[in-house]
Amino acid sequence: MAMLTKPAINKIKRQNTMLLIKKHWQLYFLLLPTMVYIFIFLYAPMGGVLMAFQNFSPTLGIFGSPWVGFHHFIRFFNSFVFWDVLRNTISLSVFNLLGNFPLPIIFALLLNQLTFKRYQRFVQTVSYAPHFISTVVLVGMLNVFLSPSMGIINIIIGLMGGEPIFFMGRAELFLPIYVLTDMWQHTGRAAIIYIATLAGISPELHEAAMIDGASKFKRVIHIEIPGLIPVATIMLLLSLGQIMNIGFEKAFLMQNNLNIVRSEIISTYVYKVGLLGAQWSFATAVGLFNSLIGFSLVIGVNTLARKFSSTSLW
């Protein structure tokens, strides 16, 4: 049999793909609205990154505004806020990742050990409920609970003989408050995928381990954790892609003049200079710089994951 050339193989693959599309056209038709939505709201706006290299003017438009090259990037790198904003963004993102990545895994492993299924479902529901609290309501709750005059935390501190603390006004407390409340709000939701993965592990593995005399702890170490590693790797890669896009809304609502030295991150800075200051090109350049860091992290970590394990995004 004659060996097929690479162009011939690619042609056969394209033909097979077209046959599959024709055979299952109803499924692709159902997918069409989602693809249109992604194109309109995610891909089409990417043309706006051209503003980062222009002195954008609304009257001239993107294609009529004068080009300035990397002027806005250099201006941002030389600005007095660059290192402070970058440090705040990276520190908040890293600590948020360190707190929110392992905790759902630990929670899922502990929840999976419960033998009383009704109590297990109750705990899972209660842990998932905070995810439905909006960010505005959450920050409002923080302002009430941490109030120096009427907050329950300061009331307890006063009963113990301490002095009231203005938690929301102390810059050094911004990061722990942000991370701890994020862990409380999103751990239950993030654990769902790990709970589903644990449920998919074959019971025969546990039965065989029990016959060999393995304890619960050893079964967790040698069966459940290895079963979670592929999913955890994918979740880590996705989290690293968003590491520089730390939530704008929560940081902005928690921000005030007293803690701004720690709470000013790239997303809040872009909002202020872009929308409030009408410096559209400069804000686009800052946002593009932020996105490029996240993109580079995903590429680098995915390359390492593919090199040292069989799990990667592509």
Which CATH number covers residue 159? Answer: 1.10.3720.10
In a domain, 37, yes or no: no
- Written as six digits, the tokens of 166 are 């203005």
The pLDDT profile of the chain, 314 residues, written as one tens digit per residue, is: 456 677 777 778 888 888 888 888 888 889 889 999 999 988 888 888 888 898 888 888 888 889 998 999 999 999 888 999 999 998 998 898 888 899 999 999 998 888 888 888 898 889 989 999 999 999 999 999 998 888 889 899 888 888 888 999 899 999 999 999 999 999 999 899 999 998 888 888 888 888 888 888 888 888 888 889 888 888 888 787 777 777 788 999 999 999 999 999 988 998 898 888 888 899 889 988 888 888 888 788 778 777 767 666 66
Give the count of domains, the chain. 1
Do 188 and 131 contact (CB within 8 A), yes or no? yes
- In order of 82, 138, 237, 263, the CA distances from 190 in angstroms are 32, 18, 14, 25
d(CA 118, CA 207): 23
Residue 209 has phi, psi (to 5 degrees) of -65, -40
Domain-embedded: residue 262: yes
Tell me whether residue 127 is in a domain.
yes
CB of 263 within 8 A of CB of 171? yes
Contacts of 28 (CB under 8 A, 6+ apart): 21
Q: Is residue 85 part of a domain?
A: yes
- Residue-level pLDDT at 16: 84
Domain with 251, as residue range(s), is 71-308
In a domain, 14, yes or no: no
Asked if residue 58 belongs to a domain, the reply is no
3-class SS of residue 67: strand
Which residue type sits at 265?
A: I
